[in-house]
Chain A
C-alpha cells in the first residue's frame, strides 16, 4: 500500500482501480455480515470456493464476501454480477446448481429467487422486490457491493473523495455551514441539529478537541449501526475525519460494544488501511491535517449510549451520566470540547459533502431531513433493515416494505425508538415518520428500532417487558429512575398477575410523569414511554386486567384459562402425554379435559395441538 500524499494521488489510485476492474466480469457476492452468517453464509462461501475450484473457474469468476443487504429474513443472500440476479435463502446444497447453471450457462435458478407472497410471482432483481421498492438507500447503497475489509472497494466507488474535497477546497467553517444547511439531525435519538453541535464545538475555546462515534447500540432488536459498521466501515470513518477537520479535533474515538465482534474487527481493519494510505494519522493526504482515531470497546451497558455516560466510560470510569449543561460540545471528554454523533449521522456526512446540502435538505419533511434506517423486527413478514426517506408513513413501512403481519393476524401496535419508545396504535398508522410527529404521539425516533406487534400481544405485558429492560439497565444513580422504574415494574407485574387494583393506572401515570420530569438523564426520562403510551392508546386492556381479571390477548398466564374445544378434539392424546403437570385426562379418541387446578398455563398443549382444539380465554 502506497501512502497517498495529495488529492491527485487519491484520484490516480481510483482511476487505476477503475481501469483494473471490468464491471462486466462475473462476480458472486455473498452477504457475510452477522445476520446472513447466522443463517449459514460462511458455509455457502466455502462451498462456492470449492465448487469454483473444482470447475476450474476460480480465476475467471470473482467471489466476494460483502456487507448487509438488509433483507435479513431472507438470508443468506447471494447476488450474481453483472446481471445482478438476487438469490435468497441460499443453502450449501444450492451451490453446484448456482455455479453450473448461472455462472456457466447464464440461466436463472428459479427456486432461489424471491417469491412475492401476495402475487406468487418470482422476482429476479433486488430493486424490484417490494421490500426494496419504497426504500431510499443512501447510507446502505453500497453495502452489498463492497467487501468491508477492502479500502480499495470503497475508493473504487468514490470513497474518500468527500474528505479530499473538504481538505483541499473548503475551510472548516464552510464544512460546518454545509452541514448546518443540510439540516442533518442526530441519528442517535434526540435529533439535535448536527451542524449546530459542530459549530458550538468549533467555537468552544480550547486547543484540544475530540470527535466520538457513538456505536453503543443497545436497543433490543436493533442492529442498524452494527450492520453499517460491518458492511461499510469506511463510510463512517470518512464522515468522522471530515467532522474532526470541521471542529478542529486531532483525536477521536469510536465507542463500540464488544458484543459486536465483527463490527469491531471491520472498524479495526478500516483504521489500519486508512492509516496505511495516509487517509488517517499524520498529514492526511498531504494537507497538513492530523487526525488519530482509536477504538474504545464498551462492556455492553445500555446507559453508556447516553453521551455523558459514554464519555465517562471512554475515560475509563464507571459509565454514569454527568450533569448537562455543560454539554459535551463545550466540555466533553477529559473536559475538552467534544462532538459525539451516532454511526448513521457520521455516515451521512460524506454524502452531504459530495452531493450538496441542498440535495440533502430536499429529502424528507420540513424539519426532518434525509433518510432514516430502521431495524424492522417483531411480528412482521420482512424482518430486516430498511432505509427510507423521512416522512414516509408508518403504514407504508409496515405493509409495503415490511410485507405486513405474518399468519394473517391483525396489526396491533408498533414500538419505535427502542425500549424507551412508545407504542403507536393502528389509528396512527398514517403518521409520517419524523422526529416531531413521533414525539407528539408519545414515542421517539430513537436510533431506529421498530418493533411490530400483532393482535396476540398483550400491551400491559409489553410495557412490563420494556420496563424490566430499563430497570435492569438503569445505572442506578438517581432516585426517580432507580426506584421509580423498579416500582412501576412492580405495579405492572402485579397487574399481569391478576393483583392489579383500582387506581393502579393513575399511579403508573404519576410515577411515569415524575420520572420524565426529574430523572437525571434521558434513560430515566424516556423509560416510562412504553407505559404511558400503552395507557394512552390501550387503556381498555389495562382495565380488563385490573377490573375483569382478564388478559384480552391471552398472554398473562395468571389471567387466562386453557380449555379443550370438544368438537375439535380427536382424542389423539398428544397434549395429555406432553402435559408437564399431568393436568390433561381423557380416553383415546374421546375429547380430553384440562384440570384447571393442576394447569400451570404453560401453553404447551395449545402449541402442540394439530386440530386447534385447545382454546384460551
Chain B
C-alpha cells in the first residue's frame, strides 16, 4: 500500500476532534465536520478575504486565547482548541451583525442573520444601504473573470464599489458574475431587448441575438471574450441557453454526442 504523502493536522472544534489536511482553514475544517460558522464574504471559489468578520472564532493555545477570522486562519500545527460559539465570539458576532443591520436595515439576508442571533432592532440609527462591502463582486470580477472592471473606491465610511472614475467602463463585459455572487442583491442588471445595462456600473452593452430563435441573450463583448478564453465551439456561443439545451439534447438523443452535458 502506498503511503499517503498528504500531511494532516488535528484540532478540537467545539469539543469535536477534527483531522484535516495541513493548511486547511478553520472554516473549511469546520464545514468538513458539519460545524456551522456563519459567513458573508466567503466563497469557496475565491481567495479568502476576511472582511465581514462574521466567521470569527476563538482560538486557544495553552492559556492564550484570541479571536481570529476562521476563513483566513490556516491550520498548520496540532493542538489548537477552537470555539465557534464562545461567549466572546457570540458577543462580537452579535455586535457585527447589529452594525451590518444598522447599515443595511432592509436587506433580508442580514435581517435573517440578526433574527438567528436574537437581535430585534439595532441600537444605532438606521441606514438604508444594500451593499455590505463584502467584496465578492470585486473579487469574482478579478479572480475568476480576469476583468477587474470594478474595485473599491474611497476609505472608511466613504468606501464603495465602483468602476474607475465612477464612469461607464469598457472593462465590464456584462457577464453578471458580480450580481450572481452578491449576497444582498445589491447589483442590478437590466436586460431590455438588444441591450444589457449593469445599472451599478453605469455600463450598457449590446446583446447578441440567438441564431435559432432570434432572442437576445448575452452581451457581445462577453461572448467574444469567452470565445477567446475557452475552447468552446464557436457555434454554441451563437445560440441562447434555451436553444443550446434543445440542440445538445437532440444531438445526444441521436447519438452524435456521448453525454448530455456540453
Per-position 1/0 for A486-524, Cβ under 8 A of B: 110010000000000000000100110110011110000
Q: Does B96 contact A (CB under 8 A)?
A: yes
A318-B152, A323-B72, A518-B67 known; A486-B157 Cβ under 8 A = yes
B156 near A475 with CB under 8 A, answer yes
Residues of B close to A519: CB separation below 8 A = 53
Considering the chains assembled together, what is the distance between the CA atoms of A485 and B100 in angstroms?
A: 13
State whether the Cβ of B118 lies closer than 8 Å to any Cβ in chain A. no
A517 to B65, CA, bound (A): 11
A507 with B52: CB separation less than 8 A: no
- Tell whether, in the assembled complex, residue B159 and residue A514 are in contact, meaning their CB atoms are under 8 Å apart: no
Taken residue by residue from 91 to 131, chain B's Cβ proximity to chain A (1 for < 8 Å, 0 otherwise) reads as 11001100110110000000000000000000111000000
Write out the residue numbers on chain A whose beta carbons fall within 8 Å of the beta carbon of B52.
478-479
Contact B50 A471 (CB under 8 A): no
Known pairs A487-B99, A507-B123; A476 contacts B53 (CB<8 A): no
**How distant is the Cα of A343 from the Cα of B74 in the complex, in angstroms?**
32
For chain A, the bracket of interface size reads 20 to 34
User: In the complex, what distance in Å separates the CA atom of A325 from the CA atom of B68?
Assistant: 11
Give chain B interface residues in 194-243, CB to chain A under 8 Å: none
Nearest-CB distance from B49 to chain A (Å)?
A: 8
Known: A323-B48, A323-B72, A478-B52. A518 touches B96 (CB 8 A): yes
Contact of B156 with A482 in the complex, beta carbons under 8 Å: yes
Docked-complex contact B53 and A520, CB < 8 angstroms = yes
Residue of B nearest to A507 (CB): B123
Q: Is B154 an interface residue (CB 8 A)?
A: yes
B248 close to A (CB within 8 Å): no
- B133 an interface residue at 8 Å Cβ cutoff? yes
Residue of A471, A476, A485, A519 ringed by the most chain B CB atoms within 10 A: A476
A400 is an interface residue with CB less than 8 A from chain B:
no
Residues of A with C-beta under 8 A to B99: 479-480, 483-484, 487
Q: How far is the CA of A485 from the CA of B99 in the complex (A)?
A: 10
B155 part of interface (Cβ distance < 8 Å):
yes
Give the one of A303, A476, A479, A510 with max B CB within 10 A. A479
Give Cα distance in the complex from A323 to B133, angstroms.
17
Of B66, B95, B99, B132, which is in contact with the most chain A CB atoms at under 10 Å from its CB? B95
Query: From residue B40, how far is it (CB to closest CB) to chain A in Å?
Result: 9
Q: Which residues 41-59 of B have a CB within 8 angstroms of A? A: 48, 50-54, 56
* Cβ of A474 under 8 Å from chain B: yes
A473 within 8 A of B: yes
Judge whether A477 and B95 touch: CB under 8 Å.
Answer: no
A513 to B95: give the CA distance in the assembly, Å. Answer: 10
Given A323-B72, A478-B51, A487-B124: A517 and B67 within 8 A (CB)? yes
Chain B neighbourhood of A520, CB < 8 A: 50-51, 53, 69
B101 to chain A, nearest CB (A): 10
- Asked if B8 CB lies within 8 Å of chain A CBs, one says no
The reply to whether B159 and A476 form a contact with Cβ atoms under 8 Å apart is yes
Q: Which residue of A473, A479, A507, A511 contacts B53 across the interface (Cβ within 8 Å)?
A: A479
B151 within 8 A of A: yes
Complex Cα–Cα for A490 and B99 (A): 13
B135 neighbours in A (Cβ, 8 Å): 477
Sort chain B's interface into a size bin. Answer: 35 or more
Using A471-B156, A473-B155, A517-B88 as known contacts, say yes or no to A482 and B67 having CB atoms under 8 A apart: no
Rounded to whole Å, the gap between the CB of A303 and the closest CB of chain B is 7
Q: Known contacts A318-B152, A476-B154; is A482 also within 8 Å of B133 by CB?
A: yes
**How far is it, in angstroms, between the C-alpha of A485 and the C-alpha of B66 when the chains are bound?**
21
Instruction: Tell yes or no: B158 within 8 A of A by CB.
Output: yes
List the A side residues contacting B156 at CB < 8 Å: 471-476, 482, 485-486
A475–B160 alpha-carbon span in the complex (Å):
11
B113 CB to closest chain A CB (Å) equals 12
A300 to chain B: closest CB distance in Å?
11
By the criterion CB–CB under 8 Å, are B155 and A514 in contact? no
Cα(A301)–Cα(B155), bound, Å = 9
Q: Which residues of chain A are within 8 angstroms of B54 by Cβ–Cβ distance? A: 479
Question: With contacts A514-B91, A518-B92, A520-B51 known, is A482 near B157, CB below 8 A?
Answer: yes
**Nearest CB of B to A491, in Å:** 9
Complex CA gap A507/B103 in Å reads: 18
Interchain CA distance A482-B157 in the complex, whole Å: 6
Residues of chain B with a CB closer than 8 A to A472's CB: 155-157
Interface contact A474-B155, CB-CB below 8 Å: yes
Flag if A480 contacts B96 (CB, 8 Å).
yes
How many angstroms from the CA of A479 to the CA of B104 in the assembled complex?
12
User: Using Cβ atoms and an 8 Å threshold, which residues of chain B touch A320?
Assistant: 152
Task: Give the residue name and chain of the B residue nearest to A303 (CB).
Answer: B155
- Inter-chain CA distance A226–B38, complex, in Å, is 45
CB distance from A428 to the nearest CB of B (A): 26
Q: What separation, in Å, do the CA atoms of A303 and B159 have in the docked complex?
A: 14
Query: Which B residues lie within 8 Å of A471 (CB)?
Result: 156-157
Q: Nearest Cβ in chain A — how far from B97, in angstroms? A: 9
Q: A294 vs B182: C-alpha distance in the bound complex, in angstroms?
A: 40
Given the known interface contacts A479-B99, A490-B125, the answer about A318 and B151 at a Cβ–Cβ threshold of 8 Å is yes
A381–B155 Cα distance when bound, in Å, is: 36
Query: By the criterion CB–CB under 8 Å, are B100 and A479 in contact?
Result: yes
* Bound Cα distance A162, B29 (Å): 50
If A323-B72, A325-B74, A475-B156 touch, whether A480 touches B124 (CB-CB below 8 Å) is no
A-B contact pairs, 17 of them (CB 8 A): A301-B155, A323-B50, A476-B159, A477-B133, A477-B159, A478-B52, A479-B51, A480-B53, A480-B99, A482-B133, A482-B157, A484-B99, A485-B156, A490-B125, A514-B92, A519-B53, A520-B51
- Beyond A473-B155, A475-B155, A517-B67, 9 extra complex contacts between A and B, CB < 8 Å: A323-B48, A474-B156, A476-B133, A476-B154, A479-B51, A479-B99, A479-B100, A490-B124, A520-B53
Which 5 pairs between the two chains have the least Cβ-Cβ distance?
A476-B159, A323-B72, A483-B99, A474-B156, A517-B67
Give chain A's interface residues, CB within 8 Å of chain B. 301, 303, 318, 320, 323, 325, 471-480, 482-487, 490, 507, 510-511, 513-514, 517-520
